[in-house]
Amino acid sequence: MGIDLKTVSIIIALIHLTQFIIFYHLYRVVKVYQGIGWWLLWCGLEILGFAMLFLRGFTFILPLVIIFQNIFIVGGTYCVYIGVMRFFGKQENRKLILGSFSVFLILLLVFLFIMDDIVIRSFIISITLSFTGFLASIVLFQNQIKSIRVTTRFIAFIFLVHGTIFAIRAFLILAGSPMEEVFRSTPVSLLAYFDALIVGLAWTFGFLVMVNQRLNAEKSESSERFISIFNTSPDAVAISSLSDGNIYECNSAFLSMSGYSKEEIIGKTSLGINIWHDSTDRDRIVTLLKGSGFVDNFEAEFQRKDYSTFTGLMSARVINLDGNASIISVTRDITERKEAEQEIKCKNEQLYSANAEKDKLFSIIAHDLRSPFSSLLGFTQLLDEELPVLTQNEVQKMVRGMRKSTLDLYNLLENLLEWSMMQRDLISFNPELLPLRQEIMDTIGVLKESANKKKIEISDDIPADLEVIADKAMLDSILRNLISNSIKFTDENGQVSIMAESMPDLSVKVSISDTGIGISQAMLKNLFRIDVNTSRKGTNNEASSGLGLMICKDFVEKHGGNFWVDSVEGKGSTFSFILPKNN
């Protein structure tokens, strides 16, 4: 009893349909590998090719059936080759494909329409299928991945069998095996059906196993790579529950950073081991993770086992572990970086201050020193050019002007020298017990003439026995600058009052008040800023640089005291400072 090849053809078509469904599912699920789509296309073309066998009974379309049937079957084997190349990440040889397929198609058409010869056509088809089989086998032998090497060799062997079968078929055709009827049980027909049924199933099975093995191997490699990165990362890595913060796993950097052992951490919550310096930071992290699923560069303070703190920069992602929402977090200790940033900030502020001091110095040199020098130059020029014709009163007036300019210049230079030495920390500090009233009276004596010229009354209320512990040179500079300032910015017939009193905390409070022009609130805010110009002329156009008050404040603070100003614009000012006294 012969084999019913029509039934076998139907079985093969159904098998190819099953293969198509399997490859389609594989194509949809496995997105990481190229090539599976080409194997899916091969199944589709094979189905169409075998379906064409049942159209051969319609003689009026037989040539078209022959053309499309063979294009589908041969083209499908090229798709297998392309799929194998793409699966291994290689580019197929397009010139070889187009060249060989074009030769096949031209010969098929020639021996169909010009010289109708079924023997030669069958020989050409068998040789082409043998060629594509050997081509796929060579590619598989050349491109082998360690994890799927055995399966790859198995598939390569199957394609070697496939190529051999069609080579034998080509030889049988040349040897004269009957070719007239496709469903006739001849050796040539049986070989083709055997290949489609057995060999096709074998390589389909091999492809499925190969893909599955590669997926598993790469999954294992990814897992090992993750574990390696997890354990060797210099940053603290932890996996914990999103809901309660229960810690499932952590790396050695986390243990080193936190100061805990693994036994003290695993199974505990992050709040339970007090890793958060501020527990509300975790609430904020969880809120962000629930909203977007990730957090990047969240800066927070963390606490070690020994209660010392450090600044960490955390990034976290929500992951699914056994159906539970979990957090994988990576935290980097940036304490040193923060300290470095703070140091840079301080250096920048110092640089800014130094630039401001330089600008202030240039401003004083350019403006405040110019005025008294200009006056001196003007007076000396007049004396040089007009002395013979000047009266004694005029000469005396000029000399007074010169003296005033010289005194202004001296005071300004003295302030500049003190300020410059103070900035470079060159002024020595030698505190001693000093009688405060005597120091104040000596300063008033020096400035009495300036006060008399403006008819300003200077009054004092200082206990005779009051003593302070202070550096004499610094105290003299403080008193001279403050009393001189009050005289300078008070109109004629005004008043300057000096008071001193003992405080309960073993200190002395000194206040110098005037009835002068006062200071605006805007100027008060910037009074001690070197980068803001607060200088202005006195009520009789006396020179002022703004340095005096800054010197006073620095000298007072050098003694460990406080310095402040109370003023109402148009009504006067009170300058107060506190110094330690003898106990």
Mind listing the pLDDT tens digit for each residue in 400-424? 778 766 776 776 677 666 666 665 6
pLDDT of residue 59: 80
What is the rounded CA–CA span in Å between residue 141 and residue 155?
9
Contacts with 56 (C-beta within 8 Å, 6 or more apart), sequence order: 62, 65, 66, 182
Higher pLDDT, 496 or 387: 496
Residues 411 and 440 in one domain: no
Residues 274 and 179 in one domain: no
Residues 84 and 167 in one domain: yes
Residue 74: exposure state from Cβ atoms within 10 A (0-12, 13-18, ≥19):
buried
577 phi and psi angles, rounded to 5 deg: -150, 160
pLDDT of residue 78: 94
If you average pLDDT over residues 156-160, what whole number do you get?
A: 90
Residues 26 and 132 in one domain: yes
Residues 281 and 211 in one domain: no
pLDDT of residue 462: 92
371 phi and psi angles, rounded to 5 deg: -60, -55
Look at residue 139 and tell me if it is in a domain.
Answer: yes
Domain endpoint, select from 389, 410, 427: 427
What's the domain range around 392?
369-427
CB 168 within 8 A of CB 192: no
Look at residue 355 and tell me if it is in a domain.
Answer: no
What is the rounded CA–CA span in Å between residue 390 and residue 385?
10
Looking at the predicted structure, is the pLDDT value of residue 511 above 90?
yes
CB 101 within 8 A of CB 135: no
Domain endpoint, select from 333, 359, 387: 333
Higher pLDDT, 368 or 165: 165
Looking at the predicted structure, is the pLDDT value of residue 95 above 60?
yes
pLDDT in tens, 17-35: 888 888 888 888 888 888 9
What's the CATH code of the domain at 295?
3.30.450.20
Residues 309 and 374 in one domain: no
Q: How many percent of the chain have pLDDT more than 70?
A: 86
Residues 53 and 155 in one domain: yes
Domain endpoint, select from 169, 200, 226: 226
Contacts with 28 (C-beta within 8 Å, 6 or more apart), sequence order: none
pLDDT of residue 131: 94
Looking at the predicted structure, is the pLDDT value of residue 152 above 80?
yes
Compute the residue count for the chain: 583
What's the CATH code of the domain at 489?
3.30.565.10
If you average pLDDT over residues 183-207, what whole number do you get?
A: 73
H or E element that contains 563: strand 563-568
Look at residue 344 and tell me if it is in a domain.
Answer: no
pLDDT in tens, 343-397: 888 888 777 766 666 665 555 554 455 556 666 777 788 777 777 877 888 888 8
Residues 421 and 449 in one domain: no
pLDDT band at residue 228 using 50, 70 and 90 as cut-offs: confident
pLDDT in tens, 34-46: 899 999 998 889 8
Looking at the predicted structure, is the pLDDT value of residue 1 above 50?
no
If you average pLDDT over residues 558-570, what whole number do you get?
A: 91
pLDDT of residue 109: 93
Look at residue 485 and tell me if it is in a domain.
Answer: yes
Any bridge partners for residue 302, and if so which?
Answer: 276, 310
What is the rounded CA–CA span in Å between residue 30 and residue 36?
8
> Greatest CA span in the chain, whole angstroms?
158
Q: How many percent of the chain have pLDDT more than 90?
A: 26
pLDDT in tens, 566-579: 999 999 999 999 99
Look at residue 14 and tell me if it is in a domain.
Answer: yes
Residue 88's nearest CA partner among 28, 151, 19 is: 151
Look at residue 154 and tell me if it is in a domain.
Answer: yes
What is the rounded CA–CA span in Å between residue 430 and residue 555?
12
pLDDT band at residue 74 using 50, 70 and 90 as cut-offs: very high
Higher pLDDT, 177 or 141: 141
Residues 308 and 190 in one domain: no
Residues 463 and 391 in one domain: no
Residues 394 and 266 in one domain: no
Look at residue 346 and tell me if it is in a domain.
Answer: no
What is the rounded CA–CA span in Å between residue 395 and residue 300?
76
Residue 233's nearest CA partner among 251, 260, 247 is: 251
Residues 411 and 485 in one domain: no
Alpha carbon dihedral 250, 253, 258, 260, in 10-degree steps, equals 60
Looking at the predicted structure, is the pLDDT value of residue 291 above 60?
yes
Look at residue 411 and tell me if it is in a domain.
Answer: yes
What is the rounded CA–CA span in Å between residue 142 and residue 336?
53
The total of structural domains in the chain comes to: 4
What is the rounded CA–CA span in Å between residue 495 and residue 441?
16
Looking at the predicted structure, is the pLDDT value of residue 524 above 90?
no
DSSP 209: H
What is the rounded CA–CA span in Å between residue 5 and residue 19?
20
